[in-house]
Amino acid sequence: MKRLKNILLSLRNEDITYKKMYDGKIHMLPEPQSNEPPINLSEPIYWNDGIYYKIERTNRLEAGKPTITIGIPIKKLKIVEGLINGTTRISQKGIPAADYCLRNFKKYLDELNETITNRKRTPRENGRYYIYEPGGKVLKRNCSYFKQSNSKYYANTGGQSGRMLSIVKNEWYLNLMIIVQLPEKKLKQTIQMLTKDLPNAVEHFINDFNVNEMKQAVILYNRQEDIRQWLRQSNYCVFIGEGSILPREKDSDLPMKNAKPFVSIPADRIRIGSMTGMGIKKGVTVITGGGYSGKSTLLDAISEGIYNHIGGDGREYVVTDSTAIKISAEDGRSIRNLNISPFITWIPGTNTTSFTTDHASGSTSQAANIIEAVNDGSGLLLIDEDKSATNFMIRDETMKELVKNDPIIPFTDRVQELYETQDVSTILVIGGSSEYLKVSDQIIMMKNFIPFDVTKEAKKLISNKVYTNSEIPLADWNCPKIINTTKFTPYQADSTSEYLDVSDKGFLEIGNESIDVRNIHNIASYSQLTAIGLLIRKIENEAKEKKLDIRKVVEDYIEVLETGNLDEIYTTYFTTCGRWLELPRKFEVLAILYRMRNI
């Protein structure tokens, strides 16, 4: 840290670019009695007791708000390599251990912020430390990860000169990425924050680190993955652990206080390893019940189960087929050359086998969402009637008699076909129609947040109502997605500048595209949406062919990010994007691409 301190001391309060700090120039002297000449290096990595602090620009405009990646040797934390290096099943690519470390480090920065906060002044005047604050999900992130690096030990010989002492190759480090708002024109405080207070906080983190707690987080993650693997090999698509807390606090992702723990339906109770809970089989499942009975809460928890959760979240043992997609109507979305004929047989002046619109209706948008999900490889659709188009979801026998040759084939007529021919299951929340009772394999009644199996009872009630759709031929579900890349670009029209804006209000803007993402329900966070925007920008810039099989392209890029560093897609060029990134699924990346209007 002496080198960083010397660099900062050479600045003036008026120098707000911090160029020397970002350059990190060092005059490296040769060994004594060596004939080698001295060399000049540019290395903005500053070492302190074997810990490195890599300082980079957060974006091209905010010089006084650097991103700092702190590299801590895992041996200092007493972490064994088998827990984090990705070569063993238990390590899970280091994701659960890195998640634990990120959450644990936050309190040390909170303590630093308490000492410098002055409520009468802004963070730009006070200075402030920022760290990503995740919700209950455990995901791969660019702000906490493990990586092998070379440790460099050298003596500071004064000023910005040094002499190399030794290099330790391929040592494992925990990397924690933070952002520091440096106080404007307060150089002394800047030096204090970067070269003394931050290293002290890191030392406290190391000294207090509880490796056994971290092991418990890894064990929990592995249990969730074991359940997920069991589901893949079984006839089940969902597992809900006994005692799970499904309701959330209002406007929060936290478990509701004093909420009733989940109790399984006895007949559906299964055991996976040491865990007992309710299993939902593949096929067509209806969740019903009166108002405020907990049916949407159950569906929401199932939807969240595509991701693993931390202990204490309440849903840590709610595990869902990881390809599940929540589907709804989406008035106004863009659709490009999609075969929606399995559900919409004709539209005046339009070919529904290659349907295009800039403003889809409720029924055409929900049809598109389902067909895209099936083609993308989803094995489970999650649908709530309250967020669906009624004329798409149902048409009872009386209306079929009254309205002949309706061009809309309701979802009731296709839901069993999807399972039988495409192996795509469906879980639906239904409260206002009995039509789905006729085509369901299981019916769950929610009463005061407790589930009951009412399949036999419901089937008796509708035993005299035979459901037939024999006149409807089987659908052709196959719909390739080949995009023309002529207008597939992050550059705005008639401009030499790229444009990317990721709004926390539910919009992603890239190039000339503005995409409403509010009805893409399984985007986990703003940080994940930011990663999607940056990934699409990278795909656009690297597209070499005039036509792309976009599904394969996205799958290939996601596979690279799963094994590599998420920060590979980041750029400092855009000033309206967040710095934190979380790994997305392919489904949400593709969903945004499908909504682009210019490709």
Where in the chain are the domains? Answer: 2-216, 234-479, 482-594
Average pLDDT of the segment spanning 505-511: 95
Confidence bin at 138 (pLDDT 50/70/90): very high
400 vs 456, residue with greater confidence: 456
pLDDT of residue 414: 96
Look up residue 290 and give its DSSP letter: S
How does the average pLDDT of the chain come out, rounded? 93
CA–CA dist 342, 344 (Å, integer): 6
Grouping H, G, I as helix, E, B as strand and the rest as coil, residue 519 is coil
**Residue 544 pLDDT greater than 60, yes or no:** yes
pLDDT in tens, 142-154: 999 999 988 776 6
Q: Are 236 and 227 in contact (CB under 8 A)?
A: no
- Its CATH class, for the domain covering 234-479, is alpha beta
Average pLDDT of the segment spanning 110-114: 96
Tokens 């006084």 belong to which residue?
A: 64
Q: Which spans in 193-327 are helix H?
A: 198-208, 211-232, 295-304
Average pLDDT of the segment spanning 481-496: 94
pLDDT of residue 468: 61
**Residue 81 pLDDT greater than 90, yes or no:** yes
pLDDT in tens, 152-211: 766 777 777 777 666 778 899 999 999 999 999 899 999 999 999 999 999 999 999 999
pTM over 0.85: yes
Grouping H, G, I as helix, E, B as strand and the rest as coil, residue 37 is coil
Average pLDDT of the segment spanning 6-24: 85
Average pLDDT of the segment spanning 116-145: 94
pLDDT of residue 470: 57
Average pLDDT of the segment spanning 436-450: 96
Query: Closest by alpha carbon to 431, among 288, 285, 284?
Result: 288
pLDDT in tens, 453-479: 999 999 999 877 666 665 789 999 999
Confidence bin at 383 (pLDDT 50/70/90): very high
Instruction: Strands of 315-384 (E only): list them.
Output: 318-320, 325-327, 335-338, 355-357, 380-384
Average pLDDT of the segment spanning 335-363: 96
Q: How many CB atoms lie within 10 A of CB 489?
A: 19
Q: Are 6 and 194 in contact (CB under 8 A)?
A: no
Confidence bin at 14 (pLDDT 50/70/90): low
**Residue 401 pLDDT greater than 80, yes or no:** no
Give percent helix, percent strand, percent coil of the chain, each to the nearest 5.
35, 25, 40
**Residue 15 pLDDT greater than 90, yes or no:** no
pLDDT of residue 98: 98
The DSSP annotation for 244-269 comes to ----B-TTSSSBPTTPPPP---GGGE
Which helix (H) or strand (E) is 98 found in, with range? helix 95-116
pLDDT of residue 36: 80
Instruction: Strands of 233-329 (E only): list them.
Output: 236-241, 269-272, 275-281, 284-289, 308-309, 318-320, 325-327
Q: Largest Cα–Cα distance of the chain, in whole Å?
A: 100
pLDDT in tens, 275-330: 999 999 999 999 999 999 999 999 999 999 999 999 999 999 999 999 999 999 99
Average pLDDT of the segment spanning 97-105: 98
